[in-house]
Structure formats: C-alpha cells, structure tokens
Chains A and B, each alone.
Chain A
C-alpha cells in the first residue's frame, strides 16, 4: 500500500493546478480578505483580530480544498476507467485504494495549513503561543479527515461526468455557509441557524476556541464527530456497494 500512497502523492505534487488551489489559493484569499481591516480591529464577540479570525477560517478552507477536491473527482473517474477494478486484481487489500487517496491528500493539506500560518505570522503579525500554533495545526489537520471521508463518499456516489459540479456545489456551499469566507454573524438569522449545524462551521469553531484559549464547545465537537460518522459510514457503505457491482 505504501507504494500506492507514494505514487498517489507524486501525482498530486506534480499537479500544479491542484497544488495552487490547495496550498497557495487559501493563503492568497487570506491576505486579500484580511488586508481591508486594520491590525487592531476585532471581530465582534470573539476578542480575536480580523487576521487571527480569518487565519483559522482560511486554514480550514485550505485543508478542505486539499482533501475534498482531488479525491472525489479521481475516485469517480477511476471507478469509471476501470483502474479500481484493476487494483482489485492485485494483492492490495480492498480498502487500500481509499486509504492511499486519503493519505496522499493529508500530505498535501499539511503544507497548505503551514504555509498559511507562516504568511499570517510573518505578514499579518498574528501572535499566538507555541502550544496554540501546534494545537491549531493538529486540530485542523485531523479535522480535515471528516471532509476526506466526504470526498470519498462523493467519489463513490457520483458518475465521472457529474462529480465536478456536485463537488463544487458542496465545497462552496460548505465553505461559504459554514462561515469560512466571512463570519456567520454577518448572515441573516435563517442562514445563521443553518450554519450552526454545518461541519465546516464546527471545524473552524474548534480552531477558534484554541485561539481564544478556550475549551472547544461540546456542541461543535459533537457536530463534527457526527458528520465524521455519517460521511465515513456513507463512504464505507457506498464503497461496498460499488465492490459488489463492479
């Protein structure tokens, strides 16, 4: 399986478009969004500066991009091309294919987070304690597994033609409605109520709690854990269904 992970990774690192969107794009958005406000300006009710607040949003967004975008499309297309079948004729255990996909995405999402943090600290003067930087990196990286599972589920659900628009809708829907692009406090009441229950909202809230040196809210942890069970369970079920049909 290591050989497959290595090759998946080599392929991901060679794909300049994918690297741009998962590593540089979130950092660029962060710099653009945070440039409009002064360095002392705080986001209402959080006690965090705009740059600090946005840093977590955009790091979450970048990790989401890395684990969701590439995999769903690849899995759907490789199911159609028959590569998944071909792999089933090797000694690779059935789940090895999915694990290799998730592992290679996780390797790309880590630099995406770190590059953004470096930009935030160096250019936007975001100050956090050492433990906060480490905990943030860890929690955003680990939390991205929820969306990696979602990517796999979409890959097994969608056909090769439909996978891109479906992924895009879910990706932008989760990013924007979940408040990764702008604080949900700016949303109308209805959207705020929806946002509370989205995995992306809970995901960024965990990171923000670390920035505020607070214990993450149990609701957010429960929401994220619930989505993980839902997405991973769905992916496993769809995977098995696909295996029987292939």
Chain B
C-alpha cells in the first residue's frame, strides 16, 4: 500500500487509528487507519455499501467507533466542528422545510464563526436564482446545492462531501466540481466520497479505495487507475488453441479459455491485443471493454491478497 508523502511534523487534519464499527454482524468499517494532511483533496472511492458513509459519520463524530480512535485537527470531531473548522454535506443530511433557501443559508452563515456573506455563498453554490423558493419545493439536485451552500457557509479548514453530485445533471456536476476546485485551491482540505472513478480521477490528488469496510488502496488517482483500470478483452479463435502462448501474453491479470472463446483481463489492453496478433492467430468477435468499478475492486482485492500471501 502506498501512502502519499506528507510532512510528518504537521498535525493531521484527519486521523483514524485502527477504527472499527459494526452493525450487528456486519463490519461496516473494519480496522481503518489513515491520516489526511492539510491542503489535500482526497476522494473516498468505493461501491455502495463499502463503508464510505459510515467512515464519514465516524469522522464527524455522528457515530462512535467500537474500537480505535478518530481525531480531527488533533482533537475530537465535536471540538473541531464547534470551532467551525469543518463544513460537511451528508447524503443523510436533511434541510429545514417551510423556510426559503435564503433564510436557510443565512442561518447556516450565522451559525459559523467565520461566515461568508449569504449572497456570496448562494451565488457560489448556484442557488441565487432560487433564493426565495421554499426548501420543501426543491428538486433533488437543487437540494444538493443548498446542502453544499450550508457546508461552505463559512471559512472552514476541512470540507466533507458525501456523494455530492447525486441527483445533479451533467452540467450541474461540472459547475459543482469547478466550485469545489476553487475551495481546494484556497488551501482547504477536501474529502469527498464517490462511487465514480472518473470523479476521483478528475478532482482528487489522493484516492482512498474502500471496499467492505477496509482500506484497499491509498495513492494518487493514476496509481489507483493503473490498479483498477484493467480492461476486459474477449475474442474467439478457430481450430486448436495454444493455451500456453496465450497465458504468456503481456499485461495479463487473468485469462479464461472456454471452448473457442478467450476472455482476458489486462492492465494494458492495447499491448495485449497487439501481442495476440503477434501470435499469428486471427481473433474474431474481438471486444475490449472497461471493467465496472465493482469488478475493478475485485481485481484490486485479488491483487492485494496475492501480494500479501
């Protein structure tokens, strides 16, 4: 497991030390240790049910770990939140209804020790034009942006976002991430959970891969992509199949030959396909496809387990 280098002298923004949390028999978070350092933009990447939301809840002190310790800025989550150092937007975070968007954002600003102007907060979140609308009349995407406005109502050092673009269309997504990058460029630490590898790749300078409550990988987006970015190559061959030659193809992570059909997983599909032609065979029905994220996680898990054993 690679760790992004950071100065050892600074107090980590987020510290997890051997944290576990179970619901009945299910280990939602299973022994996670990690440190986030100031100024990093970090993606918490994992499929649904990987433990992302539980991890964020633990981090924010909304849930308490069964064992291990969680710290924010060297203190408890509640201390950091009470000092206004954290702005957070959760999937499960509701909004006060029967009030207008502007009233709610103003409330958010007045609850922050270093507030921004409500008008600026709304403009940045792209909700200025719906300022007078009642909160209970908003679409899913609009409500998400109001949540984002509440998370950025003041000058916080750490911003936590749990699947922030859920319910947004493509253009809203792009606008959202542009705003988010501004926040990160001002030196804030940003931690966001997502199940889109592309989002993690485009935004984060560090990616934590979470699967079944465990931290599978921790590295730059490029490193994660190399691990998770395996592609699937499949084709049919006629006549006798030379299994030994196929197994020796470059960049293979797995191969399955059944009947005349060959299915390969490769970390560099272009090179693998090129080498197939190099064997002097003529593949038919050639298909190259990306792995779904779920399969990519399985691939990473297998790779990690193989490394450990």
Contacts and interface: CB of A to CB of B under 8 A. Distances in A.
Interface of A: 3-4, 7, 10-11, 14-15, 78, 80-86, 88-93, 244, 246
Query: Most A CB atoms within 10 A — which of B60, B88, B107?
Result: B107
23 contacts: A3-B110, A4-B111, A7-B104, A10-B103, A11-B98, A11-B99, A14-B98, A15-B98, A82-B92, A83-B94, A83-B95, A84-B94, A85-B90, A85-B93, A86-B95, A86-B147, A88-B81, A89-B86, A89-B93, A91-B83, A92-B111, A93-B82, A246-B63
Given A3-B110, A89-B87, A90-B112, 13 more contacts: A3-B106, A15-B98, A80-B94, A83-B96, A84-B94, A85-B90, A86-B150, A89-B86, A89-B93, A91-B81, A91-B83, A93-B82, A246-B62
B114 to A, nearest CB: 10
Contacts of A7: 96, 99, 103-104, 107
Nearest to A94: B78
Nearest to B135: A83
Query: Most B CB atoms within 10 A — which of A14, A80, A85, A91?
Result: A91
Contacts of B93: 82-83, 85-86, 89
B74 interface: no
B62 A88 contact: yes
Given A7-B107, A10-B103, A11-B98, A86 B90 contact: yes
Query: Most A CB atoms within 10 A — which of B81, B82, B93?
Result: B93
B96 A90 contact: no
Nearest to B91: A82
A240 to B, nearest CB: 12
A93 B81 CA distance: 10
B81 A90 contact: yes
A202 to B, nearest CB: 34
A89 B95 contact: no
B107 A89 contact: no
B108 interface: yes
A83 B92 CA distance: 9
A91 B62 contact: no
B99 A10 contact: yes
Contacts of A246: 62-63
B107 A85 contact: no
A244 B83 contact: no
A17 B104 CA distance: 22
Category for how many chain B residues contact A? 20 to 34
B84 interface: yes
A15 to B, nearest CB: 7
Given A89-B81, A93-B82, A246-B62, A81 B110 contact: no
A10 B108 CA distance: 16
Interface in B239-255: none
B99 A89 contact: no
Contact of A91 (B63, B103, B104, B111): B111
B113 interface: yes
B107 A3 contact: yes
B241 to A, nearest CB: 57
Contacts of B94: 78, 80-86
Contacts of A89: 60, 62, 81, 86-88, 90, 93, 151
A76 to B, nearest CB: 12
Nearest to B153: A90
Contact of B90 (A78, A80, A82): A82
Contacts of B82: 91, 93
B133 interface: no
A7 B151 CA distance: 19
A89 B63 CA distance: 12
A34 B96 CA distance: 40
A80 B95 CA distance: 11
Nearest to B95: A83
B64 interface: yes
Nearest to B147: A86
Interface in B218-237: none
Contacts of B113: 91
Nearest to A80: B94
Contacts of A85: 62, 90, 92-94
Contacts of A90: 81, 108, 111-112
Contacts of A4: 107, 111
A144 to B, nearest CB: 23
Nearest to A245: B63
Nearest to A14: B98
Nearest to B86: A89
A47 to B, nearest CB: 46
Contacts of B112: 90-91
Nearest to A93: B82
10 closest A-B pairs by beta carbon, nearest first, are A82-B94, A81-B94, A3-B110, A86-B93, A83-B94, A90-B111, A89-B88, A82-B92, A82-B93, A11-B98
Nearest to A77: B97
Nearest to B93: A86
A93 B84 CA distance: 12
B159 to A, nearest CB: 11
